[in-house]
């Protein structure tokens, strides 16, 4: 099982030096990858996310990529329907090329309706817009010239060009709903959250019934704010036994010093689990 770690790009601990330190630390400790989340604009007083301080994810990963050589770079997750696919495709292709092919695109439909409203994107169309957007990005990443008819996204793409093409970008789909599971099975992996060790075997069985090949990645995001390192070790062992191939840990510390110390403990808890 591979182990990833979230970067401190949210809340008062966030900042250029924090992100740089954490990225270098993650690579030095042997983590498989480093991850960022996304919110663009949030309501005042919203219970989640815990802070309106939220560095943009693609730029954050580009910054982190400049200080690392090996760790993969992941999004957990980009809310694709909130963005127009063409500029996003250009940004992601550029990051993939600049980083030497280290990007994993974790993607989801989103849940905060107020955020969609602020961006002028129809909330009830987000699933259909996501599917169309992924297809559009795959088209401009692989075809030259490209023609892509659209139904939901405002675009007119006929005999056009977007170069350079990036190395293949794997797409892992987040979410636990039936549509999210079905969408994940059409792409390169599932990147779930809020799944307990007890729930994991059933989820893995459902996914493997359709996608048994190991190249289809089953990944989980799990937060950790405990002082019990043994509990984390047991959790990771339980996920590995269930067939989870990759776990992303998000420390919940608010101060950078505490965060970096927690990352060291996560690395120790994950020793010997493979990957």
Domain with 230 in it: 2-136+168-269
Using CA atoms, how far apart are residues 268 and 264, in angstroms rounded to an integer?
6
Q: What is the mean pLDDT of the chain?
A: 97
Residue 149 lies in a domain: no
What is the pTM (predicted TM-score) of this model?
A: 0.97
Residue 142 lies in a domain: no
CB-based burial of residue 127 (10 Å sphere; 0-12 exposed, 13-18 middle, 19+ buried)?
Answer: middle
Residue 145 lies in a domain: no
What is the pLDDT at residue 274? 66
Tell the residue number behind the tokens 């675009």, with chain if given. 155
CATH at residue 54:
3.20.20.30
199-221 confidence digits (pLDDT tens): 999 999 999 999 999 999 999 99
Q: Quick one: pLDDT band at residue 275, thresholds 50, 70, 90?
A: low
122-163 confidence digits (pLDDT tens): 999 999 999 999 999 999 999 999 999 999 999 999 999 999
Residue 236: pLDDT over 70: yes
56-66 confidence digits (pLDDT tens): 999 999 999 99
Residue 200 lies in a domain: yes
Angle, vertex CA 172, rays to CA 158 and CA 13, nearest 5: 110
Residue 155 lies in a domain: no
What is the pLDDT at residue 88? 98
Residue 118 lies in a domain: yes
Residue 108 lies in a domain: yes
3-state secondary structure 23-73: HHHHHHHCCCEEEECCCCCCCCCCCCCCCCCECCHHHHHHHHHCCCCCCEE
Residue 50: pLDDT over 90: no
DSSP state of 10: B
What percent of the chain has a predicted confidence (pLDDT) above 90? 96
Contact of 34 with 73, CB cutoff 8 Å: yes
Domains in the chain, number: 1
Residue 9 lies in a domain: yes
Using CA atoms, how far apart are residues 75 and 59, in angstroms rounded to an integer?
11
What is the pLDDT at residue 47? 87
């Amino acid at each position: 099982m591979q182990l990833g770690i979230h970067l401190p790009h949210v809340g008062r601990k966030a900042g250029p030096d924090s992100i740089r330190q954490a990225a270098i630390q993650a690579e030095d400790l042997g983590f498989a990858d480093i991850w960022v989340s996304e919110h663009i604009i949030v309501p005042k007083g919203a219970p989640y996310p815990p802070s309106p301080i939220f560095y943009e994810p693609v730029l954050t990963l580009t910054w982190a990529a400049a200080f690392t050589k090996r760790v993969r770079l992941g999004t957990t997750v980009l809310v694709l329907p909130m963005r127009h696919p063409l500029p996003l495709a250009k940004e992601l292709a550029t990051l993939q090329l600049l980083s030497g092919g280290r990007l994993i695109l974790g993607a989801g439909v989103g849940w905060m309706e107020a955020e969609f409203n602020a961006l002028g994107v129809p909330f009830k169309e987000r699933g259909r817009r996501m599917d169309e957007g992924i297809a559009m990005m795959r088209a401009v990443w692989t075809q030259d010239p490209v023609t892509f008819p659209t139904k939901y996204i405002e675009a007119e793409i006929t005999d056009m060009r977007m170069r350079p093409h990036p190395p293949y970008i794997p797409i892992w789909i987040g979410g636990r709903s039936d549509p999210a599971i079905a969408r994940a099975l059409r792409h390169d992996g599932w990147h779930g959250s809020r799944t307990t060790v007890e729930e994991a075997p059933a989820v893995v069985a459902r996914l493997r019934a359709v996608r048994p090949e190991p190249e289809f990645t089953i990944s989980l995001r799990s937060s950790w704010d405990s002082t019990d390192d043994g509990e984390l070790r047991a959790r990771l062992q339980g996920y590995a036994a269930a067939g989870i191939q990759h776990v992303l840990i998000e420390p919940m510390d608010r101060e950078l010093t505490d965060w970096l110390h927690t990352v060291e403990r996560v690395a120790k808890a994950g020793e010997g689990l493979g990957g």
